[in-house]
Each structure stands twice: as structure tokens, then as C-alpha cells.
Amino acid sequence: MIAPGRNARALGDFARRFGDRVRTVALSGDEGDDRERMRQAAPDAIDCVIDLFPRTRAPCAPPSWPCVRMAASC
């Protein structure tokens, strides 16, 4: 699981709770940089994205779907 977020303390807690099953990515607010770091954190194609932003999300919080790489078989 790739877990992106802006709160370093929460990401650290998440990583301690779930260990090797999760890779955290601290978001910087730079969409291109954040997207690339999420892609690098994924060992393979990303199968699913769950975006937990409310419908009235801040403009600095872009949707996660641009980070998805399609598998070669798609």
C-alpha cells in the first residue's frame, strides 16, 4: 500500500502500525513532484486509488488518479 499524506507524524504512526505492508510518501504540495514520488514508491502498477478528500477539497489537493499507471495487460 502506498500512503501519501501531508502530516509527517501521522505517516510515521501509520508506518509503525503496518510495517512493511505500507510505504508512506510525504506530500510537498507540488503536484508533479508528489505524483513522481508516489510512482517511485509503488513496486509495480497501481491497481486502485482511494481518494479521501471531501468534495470541497482545497485547490492544493489534486485528485490522486493521475498517479495511476496502467498495467501492461490493460
Q: Count of CB atoms within 10 A of residue 35's CB?
A: 18
Q: How confident is the model at residue 56 (pLDDT cuts 50, 70, 90)?
A: low
Per-residue cell: 8: 509527517
Task: Give the pLDDT score at 61.
Answer: 54
Half-sphere exposure of 54 (CA within 13 A, CB side): 3
pLDDT in tens, 3-25: 888 889 989 998 999 998 899 99
- Phi/psi at 23 (nearest 5 deg)? -120, 120
Name the residue ranges covered by the structural domains of the chain.
2-67
